[in-house]
Amino acid sequence: MTESDLSGHQKERKIVRVMRTYDLDHLEVQLVNRWTGTGEEQFTIRELARWFNVRVVERAMEDHDVSFDGLVPDPETVYDAIDADDPDEHQERVLEALRDSGFPVDDLAEDLPHWRSVYAWLTEDKEVEGGNTREPLTPQRGQERIDKLLSRVERVSDSTLSQLARNREGEVPDAEVSVRLRVKCSECEHTCVHREWIQAGGCPNCTDPA
């Protein structure tokens, strides 16, 4: 996406303009709290920018009443498609469907602020200290990150299969999508789910109990 943010205290930051344009001024406090970890899960600046941009996409979808064959697409899926430098086949279909519905994809992409814009607004304009620029990756956070990704894969897969089923003539049984990640040890070839691997701090079969 193109970053056309304006720097300097005398000029309005892109993120400020976007909050006003999309009626998201109430997110200002949440942005600060998620950056500092005050009463909220502490985000890195890239995670925070993504969180904000997904909220912008969600509001734009609500304003334009976006739906594909009566189903409302997931805002994160839409954001990933818009933000992708090299969209995959599924993301291309999402973008095409959005444009066919009259959704202003390119205008929205131009509105989404870069993480550097969010960082400058927080540290220079809001003068917020103690932000999380390089948060250490804990086992719990690593597991949450993988779980979120698997959940997104399930949502995209379920949406895709449902759409394909609707395109077929006649009744097609509903599909239940379940995604599991298994990790294989390169030493002993033991396999386990990712949670077990993370909790053990490595291969449960090779790692000595603490």
Distance CA 119, CA 136 (A): 18
What per-residue confidence (pLDDT) applies to 131? 63
- Look up tokens 């304006």; give the residue: 6
Mean pLDDT, residues 15-28: 95
Non-local (6+) Cβ contacts of 41 within 8 A are 34
Distance CA 22, CA 10 (A): 22
Burial class (CB in 10 A: 0-12, 13-18, 19+), 26: exposed
User: Among the ranges 50-54, 65-69, 126-130, which has the highest mean pLDDT value?
Assistant: 50-54
How confident is residue 4, by pLDDT bands cut at 50, 70 and 90? very low
Instruction: Inform me whether the pLDDT recorded for 191 exceeds 80.
Output: yes
Distance CA 132, CA 135 (A): 6
Residue 68: strand, helix, or coil: strand
Structure tokens at 54: 């997904």
Mean pLDDT, residues 141-151: 80
Mean pLDDT, residues 120-124: 92
The rounded mean pLDDT for the chain is 83
Non-local (6+) Cβ contacts of 51 within 8 A are 34, 43
For the chain, domain boundaries: 14-135
